């Protein structure tokens, strides 16, 4: 009996240690979870259940690969399993088109096939389909519409197919007829909802239940909004509205825009985002109860008949217990391809990196980007991942083989402003330096804040981020003693995306380079 107790104790300690090594763990390992369930920038989420699996998708904007597919068994523990596309099929995305790209996708299932619809602000309405979300998706342009956003279809039980969408910077919802296979628009669309009491209404999601057409639509804007639900017996309206989730007495600002899902157990849950400054739009999970024909989200604590976000709650009843999992972060670079946690800032090119030249390490080539002073706003080959927690450290080991003077490689924090720690090739040798820059229209502004020469081309680079998103860089020659360099830097969100942390290797010269940097590993803790 004592041996059994000892084994259980050791097992419990190991689980605890494993969980504590992760930047953020929402599973409290006691039958409850805490919000957010993902402390990372997965904006405009939608969700679907397929058997015992849940799949969640999110916007990617200008980053590739685009539209992540996350999988869970219990709505609390998530991992990244795929992306909808590797590149957007438009040449202009070969350079960063900040704030554009894929906006607010929706995921549905019809006729043994998964459908994802999304719009870009100025390129059109896209459709991606697959038999399995973990496998390859087929991407096609449906129509080159402009200023559409946030499309969502519904295959009605009367045999008709429709699509709802919002318009950029508006408070209007439109309904179009679709072909049965969902690949063609059949009419010009009809305005079905507009109400000044629901400003900036967007992100609509369709649901038909008990004879009602329900539209879940966030309103009020990203940072201070709320979740509205519309309902009508006629798909064209008129619709009555009700706010079902708001900030209330909590500190969760703007709780809205997400997906509603029904479990096998009959429970309903709502996954949504909260705008969190540099951290982007982090993900929360709310219980849902149907009351008087409305899906009430969270918990009504003050009797105003509007739900408020929960900080902790009993985990969803999925009939089983599942191990703690989190979206991937650290990478040993031992695979033959990039981990799913990584995204580029533009359409990716195979010439940017290699795993073949030095197996077990990621080689980033010094890609030509004639940007004078190192304006990262226009650099496409930034290899980035999302901030994973309120506070964390990122450390990497790099060996730099520069070819031309001015080439740099290193570790960066990127948003509308940026900072980075770089090894640079100078006329006198390898230099370690810290840099800061900020996007300013018609101005190229990146400044070196501190620098010193090194007698080696191998170095450990680190950035520490505190829970106020203040970053500080340091470096080491032995991975034990780290030397602070530069000054404190306040991370900022990018355009519609959170700040990111990652790696780079650039050549700012007009001529091509044979330079490169080998990254041995990247650790987030």
pLDDT at 382 over 60: yes
Share of the chain above pLDDT 90, in %: 89
Among all chains, which residue has been given the structure tokens 């500190």? 251
pLDDT at 124 over 70: yes
Q: What is the pLDDT of residue 442?
A: 64
DSSP state letter for 406: T
pLDDT at 7 over 80: no
Average pLDDT, the chain: 93
Within 10 A of 97 (CB to CB), how many other CB atoms are there?
A: 22
User: Domain ranges in the chain?
Assistant: 47-256, 343-524
- DSSP-based three-state secondary structure for 405: coil
Length of the chain: 525
- Whether 378 and 369 have beta carbons less than 8 Å apart is answered as yes
Q: What is the pLDDT of residue 372?
A: 58
DSSP state letter for 20: H
Residues 6+ apart with CB under 8 A from 459: 397, 398, 400, 423, 432, 475, 476, 477
Active site residues: 44, 202
ω into 238 cis (within 30 of 0): yes
How far is the CA of 222 from the CAs of 202, 276, 497, 522, in angstroms? 10, 10, 12, 32
Q: What is the pLDDT of residue 264?
A: 97
Q: What is the pLDDT of residue 439?
A: 84
pLDDT at 41 over 90: yes
Q: Could you please report the per-residue DSSP string of 253-309?
A: -S-EEEEEEE-TTS-EEEEEEEE-GGG-EEEEEEEEEEETTEEEESB-SSSSS-BB-
Q: What is the pLDDT of residue 21?
A: 57
Share of the chain above pLDDT 70, in %: 94
Cα–Cα distance measured from residue 143 to residue 178, given in angstroms and rounded to the nearest whole number: 12
Cα–Cα distance measured from residue 461 to residue 420, given in angstroms and rounded to the nearest whole number: 10
pLDDT per residue over 303-313, tens digit each? Answer: 999 999 999 99
Structural fold of domain 47-256: Tachylectin-2; Chain A (2.115.10)
pLDDT at 495 over 90: yes
Same CATH topology for 47-256 and 343-524: the answer is: no
* Nearest alpha-carbon partner for 153 in 120, 198, 131, 186: 186
pLDDT at 137 over 80: yes
pLDDT at 254 over 80: yes
ω into 482 cis (within 30 of 0): no
pLDDT at 448 over 90: no
Give ∠ CA 40-42-45 in degrees, rounded to 5. 145
Give ∠ CA 89-90-95 in degrees, rounded to 5. 120
Q: What is the pLDDT of residue 17?
A: 40
Q: What is the pLDDT of residue 472?
A: 97
Residue 146 φ/ψ, nearest 5 degrees: -125, 140
Q: What is the pLDDT of residue 129?
A: 98
pLDDT level of residue 451 (50, 70, 90 thresholds) = confident
Q: Write down the pTM of the prediction.
A: 0.94
* Nearest alpha-carbon partner for 150 in 126, 177, 133: 126
pLDDT per residue over 186-245, tens digit each? Answer: 999 999 999 988 999 999 999 999 999 999 999 999 999 999 999 999 999 999 999 999
- DSSP-based three-state secondary structure for 442: coil
Cα–Cα distance measured from residue 59 to residue 102, given in angstroms and rounded to the nearest whole number: 6
Q: What is the pLDDT of residue 13?
A: 39
- Whether 177 and 165 have beta carbons less than 8 Å apart is answered as no
Terminal Cα distance for the chain, rounded? 37
CATH 2.60.120.200 for domain 343-524, yes or no, is yes
Q: What is the pLDDT of residue 446?
A: 77
Q: What is the pLDDT of residue 170?
A: 79
Cα–Cα distance measured from residue 51 to residue 53, given in angstroms and rounded to the nearest whole number: 6
Q: What is the pLDDT of residue 78?
A: 98
Cα–Cα distance measured from residue 119 to residue 58, given in angstroms and rounded to the nearest whole number: 13
Q: Could you please report the per-residue DSSP string of 184-250?
A: -B-S--EEEEE-TTSTT----EEEEETTEEEEEEEES-TTT-EEEEEEESSTT---EEEEEE--TTS
**The pair of three-digit structure tokens given for residue 444, joined into one six-digit string:** 């190229």
Going along 337-482, which residue ranges are E strands?
A: 343-344, 353-354, 362-365, 367-368, 383-386, 392-401, 408-414, 417-426, 429-438, 446-453, 458-465, 470-476
DSSP state letter for 13: H
Within 10 A of 16 (CB to CB), how many other CB atoms are there?
A: 13
Residues 6+ apart with CB under 8 A from 105: 44, 46, 57, 58, 59, 67, 84, 116, 117, 118
ω into 519 cis (within 30 of 0): no
The stretch 292-316 carries a mean pLDDT of: 96
The stretch 505-520 carries a mean pLDDT of: 94
pLDDT at 39 over 50: yes
Q: Tell me the torsion sign for CA atoms 366, 371, 373, 376.
A: negative
């Amino acid at each position: 009996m004592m041996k059994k107790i000892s084994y259980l104790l050791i097992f419990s300690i190991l689980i605890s240690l494993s969980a504590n090594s992760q930047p953020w763990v929402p599973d409290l390992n006691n039958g409850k979870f805490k919000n957010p369930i993902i402390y990372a920038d997965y904006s405009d989420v939608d969700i679907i259940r397929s058997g015992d699996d849940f799949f969640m998708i999110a916007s990617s904007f200008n980053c590739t690969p685009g539209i992540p597919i996350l999988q869970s068994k219990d709505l609390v523990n998530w991992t990244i399993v795929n992306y909808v596309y590797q590149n957007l099929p438009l040449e202009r995305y070969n350079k960063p088109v900040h704030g554009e790209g894929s906006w607010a996708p929706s995921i549905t299932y019809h006729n043994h096939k998964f459908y994802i619809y999304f719009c870009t602000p100025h390129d059109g309405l896209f459709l991606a389909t697959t038999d399995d979300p973990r496998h390859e998706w087929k991407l096609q342009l449906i129509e080159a519409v402009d200023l559409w956003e946030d499309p969502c279809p519904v295959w009605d039980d009367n045999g008709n197919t429709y699509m709802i969408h919002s318009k950029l910077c508006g408070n209007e919802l439109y309904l179009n007829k679709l072909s049965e296979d969902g690949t063609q628009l059949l009419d010009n669309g009809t305005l079905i909802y507009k109400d000044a009491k629901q400003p900036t209404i967007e992100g609509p999601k369709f649901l038909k239940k008990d004879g009602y057409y329900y539209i879940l639509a966030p309103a009020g804007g990203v940072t201070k909004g709320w979740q509205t639900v519309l309902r009508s017996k006629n798909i064209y309206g008129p619709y009555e509205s009700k706010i079902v989730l708001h900030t209330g007495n909590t500190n969760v600002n703007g709780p809205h825009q997400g997906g509603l899902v029904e479990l096998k157990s009959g429970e309903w849950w709502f996954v949504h985002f909260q705008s969190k400054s540099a951290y982007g739009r982090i993900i929360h999970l709310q219980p849902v109860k149907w009351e008087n024909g409305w899906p009430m989200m969270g918990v009504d604590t003050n009797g105003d008949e509007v739900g408020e976000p929960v900080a902790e709650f009993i985990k969803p009843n999925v009939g089983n217990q599942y191990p703690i999992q989190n979206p991937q972060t650290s990478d040993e670079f031992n695979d033959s391809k990039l981990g799913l946690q990584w995204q580029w800032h533009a359409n990716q090119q195979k010439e940017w990196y290699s795993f073949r030249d030095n197996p077990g390490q990621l080689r980033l080539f010094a890609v030509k980007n004639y940007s004078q002073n190192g304006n990262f706003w226009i650099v496409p080959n930034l290899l980035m991942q999302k901030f994973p927690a309120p506070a964390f450290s990122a450390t990497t080991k790099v060996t730099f083989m520069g070819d031309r003077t001015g080439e740099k490689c290193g570790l960066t924090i990127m948003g509308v402003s940026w900072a980075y720690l770089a090894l640079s090739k100078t006329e006198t040798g390898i230099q370690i330096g810290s840099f800061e820059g900020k996007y300013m229209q018609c101005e190229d502004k990146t400044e070196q804040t501190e620098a010193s020469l090194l007698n080696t081309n191998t170095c450990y680079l680190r950035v520490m981020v505190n829970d106020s998103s203040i970053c500080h860089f340091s470096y080491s020659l032995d991975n034990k003693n780290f030397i602070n360099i530069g000054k404190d830097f306040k991370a900022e969100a990018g355009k519609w995306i959170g700040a990111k942390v990652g790696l780079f290797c650039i050549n700012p010269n007009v001529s091509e380079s044979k330079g490169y940097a080998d990254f041995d590993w990247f650790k987030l803790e």
